[in-house]
Amino acid sequence: MNAFISTLQKNVEVLTRPSSIEEFKYIPQEEKTLPNIGQLKDIVDLIKSIFFPGYFGVTGRNQNSQQYYTGVNIEKLYSLLDEQIYTGLHFFHTEDTREALKDSAELALVFIDRLPKIKRLLCTDIKAVFDGDPAARSYGEVIFCYPAIQAMINYRIAHELLALGIPVIPRIITELAHSATGIDIHSGAQIGEYFSIDHGTGVVIGETCIIGNHVRLYQGVTLGAKSFKLDDDGLPMNIPRHPILEDHVIVYSNSTILGRITIGHHSIIGGNIWQTSGVPPYSRILQRKAVSSFFVDGAGI
Binders of its own copies among residues 55 to 84 (CB under 8 A) are 55, 58-72, 74-76, 78-79
**What are 197's strand-pairing partners?**
217
Tell me, by CB under 8 A, how many residues bind its own copies.
148
Q: Cβ closer to its own copies: 101 or 296?
A: 296
Position 4 contacts its own copies (CB under 8 A): yes
Least distance (Å) between residue 290 CB and its own copies: 5
Cβ closer to its own copies: 147 or 165?
147
Please state the closest distance from residue 192 (CB atom) to its own copies, in A: 19
Q: What is the CA radius of gyration of the chain?
A: 23
Nearest distance from residue 195's CB to its own copies, in Å?
16
Which residue of 39, 45, 80, 144 would you call a contact of its own copies, by CB under 8 A?
144
Distance separating alpha carbons of residues 232 and 213, to the nearest angstrom: 38
279 is a contact residue toward its own copies (CB under 8 A): yes
DSSP state string for 179-248: HHHS-EE-TT-EE-SS-EEES-TT-EE-TT-EE-SS-EEETT-EEE--S--B-TTSPBP----S-EE-TT
- Smaller CB separation from its own copies, 33 or 213: 33
| Nearest CB to its own copies, comparing residues 192 and 271 | 271
- Binding flags for its own copies, 86-105, as an x/- string (CB under 8 A): -----xx------------x
Give the SS3 label for residue 256: strand
**Window 100 to 129, contacts with its own copies (CB under 8 A):** 105, 109, 112-113, 115-116, 119, 123, 126
Residues 6+ apart with CB under 8 A from 13: none
56 three-class SS: strand
Subset of 205-264 contacting its own copies (CB under 8 A): 207, 218-220, 222, 224, 226-228, 235-239, 241, 250, 252-256, 258
Residue 101 or 298 having the CB closest to its own copies: 298
Task: For residue 95, give Cα distances in angstroms to 76, 101, 195.
Answer: 32, 12, 39
DSSP string computed for 262-280: EE-TT-EE-TT-EE-S-B-
With binding defined as CB under 8 A, does residue 267 bind its own copies? Answer: yes
For its own copies, the closer CB: 38 or 138: 138
Give the contacts of 231 (CB within 8 A, at least 6 positions apart). 237
Contact criterion met (CB below 8 Å) for 78 and 111: no
- Indicate which single residue of 19, 25, 38, 101 sits in contact with its own copies (rule: CB under 8 A): 25
Selected binder of its own copies within 16, 38, 98, 101 (CB under 8 A): 16
How far is the C-alpha of 138 from the C-alpha of 133, rounded, in Å?
A: 10
Say how far apart CA 28 and CA 47 lie, in whole Å. Answer: 31
Of residues 168 through 207, those in contact with its own copies by CB under 8 A are: 168, 171-172, 175, 178-182, 184, 186, 188, 199, 201-202, 204, 207
